[in-house]
Chain A
C-alpha cells in the first residue's frame, strides 16, 4: 500500500503546483475551481455512499424502530445477538416480574436490573426435568454471551462459563414467546451449562399439571 500512498502524494504535489501556477496567472479562477471541486466532492461522496457504503452498511428496516447499521463481512460489527438482546430479551423483561429459580442466582442481579421485579422460587428436580423435556416448545432460541452482558453485574465468573470467553462457546437462551403474550409474570431458570429458559408462569404450571 506504500506505493499507492507515494503515488497519491506525488499526484497531490502536482495538483499543488497546478493551482499554485493558476493562482498567479489566473487568480480569478481559484474561486470557481474551489467551488467546482467542492461540488464534485459532494457529488462523489453521495454517489459513493449510495453505491458502496449503504449497501454494505446494511439496514434492518423490517422489524426495528431503529435501523441497525451493520457492515457486511465485518465480523466485529455484525452480530445478530445485538438485535436479539434489544428486540427480544429486554422487552420481555421490561414491565414483567421474574420468578427466578434459586439455582439460577447467577442471573439475579441481571434480572433485577432489567425487569420490574425479581422473586426467588425453589423448583424441584422433577419440575426442572419436566420443563427441560419440553425444549421444543421454546420457539425462540439464540446463543447468549451472558458474560458480556453480565460484565458489570457479577463479581465472579463461574468456571463453567470461562470457555465462553476463551473459545466462544456460548450458552443459549430459550424463550417461549407465545406463552408470554399479555402475561406479567415469567419464570426463568438455567441448566448446568448456564442455558437460560424463559416462559410465562401459566405455561410452566400447565406443563407441570400435564406431567
Chain B
C-alpha cells in the first residue's frame, strides 16, 4: 500500500516535470520574436543556458552539503542545495576579488574545488574512515520520495528558465546589481571599478552583483531565473519546515492541511509577491534570514556551519547586513542553543568579512563618492557603528547574556525577562530619538502606518491578516519569548537603525526603504506563527495524544 502511494506520488512529480518541459519548449516559440530582432544567435541555447545555470548552482551546493553532512536528511540536502550553492559562488568570487586575483570562471572553479578537497580530507581525517565508505554513506538514497522532490525541482527549474515568470525592476536592479555584476566579469577586479564616484563599492552589498556575475559568465543578461527559483526554494523550505513542526503536534492530514494553508497564505500575500519578484538584495536577505530560522528550528549537526554561512551572506548582501547578522546572533543567544563560544563562532566569519571589506574599500581602494556621501560605508560614522555593532554583539554573547540569563532563569524563573529588558532598551532608544526630534520620529511612524494600511500599498490587505494571525498565536504562552523577539525586535531595531543611523525620512510609496527591510522578516514571522500555532492547536485538539 505504501509502495503504491510512493509510486503514485512519483508519477505525479514526473508528470509535473513533463508539463514544465512542454512549457519550456513552447516558450521557445513565444520568446522567438523578442530574441529574433537583434539579440541572440540561438534562442534554444540561451534558454538551455538559463536552465544549466540553475542546475550547476544547485549541484555546487548539493556537493558541498553532501561533503559536510552527518545527520542532515536527504530532503534538507535537496532543499538547501541551491541557496548554499549561491553562497559558495559568492564567497569564492568575493575572496578572489578581494585578493586581486582576476575574476574568471576557472579561478572560481579552482577555489571551490580547493574548498571541496579540503573539506573532503578534513572530514576523512576527523571521521577516520575509509574514503569509499564515507562518500557512499553521504550520497542521498534513491528513494521514491527523493526522486519525487528532484523531479519537482527540475520542473520548477524548467519553468524558471522560460522567462514566463514575472520580475519587477527598478533603477537599482539594473545599475547596481545586473549591470554592475556584468561589469565585474569584464573588468575582473574591484580595483578597475573604483573611480571618483564609487557608489557600487561604498553603498552596495556585493553578494547580489556576484550572483549576477554568475549569470553573466553563462552569457546571460540577467539572473531573473535565479531569483524566481530562489523564491520557489524559499516556499519549499517553508512548507517543509512548517510540515515538520505541525507533524510533531497534529495528525498527518491536519499537519498537511495547515502547512499548505500557511504556505499559500505567505505565497499569496501582496507584500511577499512584490518583494520576492523585485530584483533587489532585499529578496535575498528575506531568503537567508528565513533560512537561518529554518535550519535552527530543524536542528542538525550541520546547522552550525550553515548558520555561519548564511550570516556571512547577510553581511555581504547589504551594507546594513551586518546589523541583521548581529541581531540574529542576539536571537540565537536568547534561544540558548549551543555554547557561547559556538555562538560567537557563528558570528565571527560575518564580522571578519565585514571588517575586511571596510578596510579594503577605505584603505586599499580609497574609494570615494561624489553622491550619497552620508550613506557610504566608508564614512567614519558608519565604520564606528559597524565596529560598535560587532563588538556589542560579542560582548552581549560572552558577558551580558550569560549574566542576564542566570539572573532571570535561575533566580527569578522568569524566562521572558531578558527579552523584555531588550524591548525596554529599544523603547528607551526610540524615546530618546523622539526627544531629540519629535517631528522626525512621529513622521516616520506615520509613514510606516500609511505604507502598511494605505490603499494601494506594498502590503495589500495582508497587514491586517498578519496582525490577526499574530493575535491568534498570542493564546499560546509565553508570547513575549525569544521567537517573537526575532521579528518584533527586528522591526523595532531597524526602525531605530534607519531613523538614527541613516537619519532617514521615510516616505509613502512601494519602494520605501524601511518598508522593504521590514518585509524581509515576513516569511520568518509566518514561520514562527506557524510554530506557535502548531503547539496551540495541539492543546485545543481533543485527545491530542492520539493525534500525534
Known interface pairs A63-B33, A63-B34; A74-B509 also in contact (CB < 8 Å): yes
Known interface pairs A28-B540, A76-B170, A151-B197; A53-B273 also in contact (CB < 8 Å): yes
The reply to whether B265 and A35 contact each other, CB–CB distance below 8 Å, is no
Q: A65 vs B187: C-alpha distance in the bound complex, in angstroms? A: 28
The reply to whether B511 and A69 contact each other, CB–CB distance below 8 Å, is no
> A112 interface residue, CB < 8 Å from B?
yes
Q: Give min CB distance, A211 to chain B, whole Å.
A: 27
Q: A68 vs B166: C-alpha distance in the bound complex, in angstroms? A: 6
The reply to whether A5 and B453 contact each other, CB–CB distance below 8 Å, is yes
The reply to whether B460 and A69 contact each other, CB–CB distance below 8 Å, is no
Which residues of the other chain, A, contact B258 by a CB distance below 8 angstroms?
34-35, 38
The reply to whether B449 and A45 contact each other, CB–CB distance below 8 Å, is no
Q: Give min CB distance, B230 to chain A, whole Å.
A: 15
The reply to whether B471 and A19 contact each other, CB–CB distance below 8 Å, is yes
> A129 interface residue, CB < 8 Å from B?
no
Instruction: Indicate which residue in A4, A45, A56, A76 contacts B462 across the interface (CB closer than 8 Å).
Output: A45
Known interface pairs A12-B467, A37-B472; A71-B510 also in contact (CB < 8 Å): yes
Q: Give min CB distance, B476 to chain A, whole Å.
A: 10
Measured CB to CB, the nearest residue on chain B to A85 is B174
> A105 interface residue, CB < 8 Å from B?
no
The reply to whether A91 and B40 contact each other, CB–CB distance below 8 Å, is yes
Known interface pairs A30-B537, A91-B37, A95-B41; A49-B268 also in contact (CB < 8 Å): yes
Known interface pairs A4-B453, A48-B270, A152-B199; A77-B221 also in contact (CB < 8 Å): no
Stretch at the interface among A131-139, A153-161, A187-195: A153-161
Q: Give min CB distance, A18 to chain B, whole Å.
A: 10
**Interface contact tally, CB-CB below 8 A:** 199
The reply to whether B261 and A39 contact each other, CB–CB distance below 8 Å, is yes
Instruction: Indicate which residue in B171, B221, B265 contacts A41 across the interface (CB closer than 8 Å).
Output: B265
Which residues of the other chain, A, contact B115 by a CB distance below 8 angstroms?
none
The reply to whether B174 and A156 contact each other, CB–CB distance below 8 Å, is no
Q: A156 vs B193: C-alpha distance in the bound complex, in angstroms? A: 12
- A59-84 CB contacts (< 8 Å) to partner B: 59, 63-71, 74, 76-77, 79, 82
Instruction: Indicate which residue in A2, A64, A94 contacts B34 across the interface (CB closer than 8 Å).
Output: A64
Which residues of the other chain, A, contact B533 by a CB distance below 8 angstroms?
34
Q: A74 vs B507: C-alpha distance in the bound complex, in angstroms? A: 13
Q: A77 vs B278: C-alpha distance in the bound complex, in angstroms? A: 10
> B213 interface residue, CB < 8 Å from A?
no
The reply to whether A69 and B167 contact each other, CB–CB distance below 8 Å, is yes
The reply to whether A31 and B453 contact each other, CB–CB distance below 8 Å, is no
B interface residues, how many (CB within 8 angstroms) = 82
Q: A177 vs B37: C-alpha distance in the bound complex, in angstroms? A: 9
Known interface pairs A15-B468, A34-B472, A45-B465; A52-B460 also in contact (CB < 8 Å): yes
Identify the interface centre among B38, B183, B195, B541: most chain A CB within 10 Å of its CB: B38
The reply to whether B456 and A76 contact each other, CB–CB distance below 8 Å, is no
Which residues of the other chain, A, contact B37 by a CB distance below 8 angstroms?
91, 177
The reply to whether A44 and B461 contact each other, CB–CB distance below 8 Å, is yes
Instruction: Indicate which residue in B173, B224, B453, B472 contacts A1 across the interface (CB closer than 8 Å).
Output: B453
Using C-beta atoms within 8 Å of the partner chain, give the interface range for chain A. 35 or more
The reply to whether A82 and B465 contact each other, CB–CB distance below 8 Å, is no
Measured CB to CB, the nearest residue on chain A to B174 is A82
> A201 interface residue, CB < 8 Å from B?
no
- A1-58 CB contacts (< 8 Å) to partner B: 1-2, 4-5, 8, 12, 15-16, 19-20, 23, 27-28, 30-31, 34-35, 37-39, 41-42, 44-46, 48-49, 52-53, 56-57
> A206 interface residue, CB < 8 Å from B?
no
Instruction: Indicate which residue in A44, A49, A59, A85 contacts B273 across the interface (CB closer than 8 Å).
Output: A49
> A148 interface residue, CB < 8 Å from B?
yes
Which residues of the other chain, A, contact B169 by a CB distance below 8 angstroms?
68-70, 82
Q: A34 vs B468: C-alpha distance in the bound complex, in angstroms? A: 10
Which residues of the other chain, B, contact A112 by a CB distance below 8 angstroms?
186
Known interface pairs A1-B449, A69-B277; A113-B182 also in contact (CB < 8 Å): yes
Instruction: Indicate which residue in A42, A94, A149, A154 contacts B39 across the interface (CB closer than 8 Å).
Output: A94
Instruction: Indicate which residue in A2, A19, A53, A156 contacts B449 across the interface (CB closer than 8 Å).
Output: A2
Q: A142 vs B435: C-alpha distance in the bound complex, in angstroms? A: 49
Which residues of the other chain, A, contact B540 by a CB distance below 8 angstroms?
23, 27-28, 30-31
Which residues of the other chain, B, contact A153 by a CB distance below 8 angstroms?
183
Q: Give min CB distance, B25 to chain A, whole Å.
A: 15
The reply to whether B461 and A23 contact each other, CB–CB distance below 8 Å, is no
The reply to whether A67 and B261 contact each other, CB–CB distance below 8 Å, is no
Measured CB to CB, the nearest residue on chain A to B475 is A23
> A92 interface residue, CB < 8 Å from B?
yes
Known interface pairs A64-B34, A77-B511, A113-B186; A42-B471 also in contact (CB < 8 Å): no
The reply to whether A152 and B193 contact each other, CB–CB distance below 8 Å, is yes
Q: A143 vs B32: C-alpha distance in the bound complex, in angstroms? A: 27
Q: A88 vs B446: C-alpha distance in the bound complex, in angstroms? A: 42
Q: Give min CB distance, B384 to chain A, whole Å.
A: 27
The reply to whether B197 and A45 contact each other, CB–CB distance below 8 Å, is no
- B263-322 CB contacts (< 8 Å) to partner A: 264-265, 268-270, 273-274, 277-278
The reply to whether B196 and A42 contact each other, CB–CB distance below 8 Å, is no
The reply to whether B265 and A151 contact each other, CB–CB distance below 8 Å, is no
Listed from nearest, the 3 A-B pairs whose CB atoms lie closest are: A69-B168, A91-B39, A65-B163
Q: A16-B474, A53-B274, A149-B175 are in contact. List 4 more A-B contacts (CB 8 A).
A: A19-B471, A31-B540, A34-B472, A94-B39
Please list 12 pairs of residues, one from A and one from B, whose beta carbons are closer than 8 Å in the complex, sorted by A's number: A1-B449, A1-B453, A12-B468, A19-B475, A34-B533, A48-B270, A52-B460, A63-B33, A77-B510, A92-B38, A95-B41, A148-B175
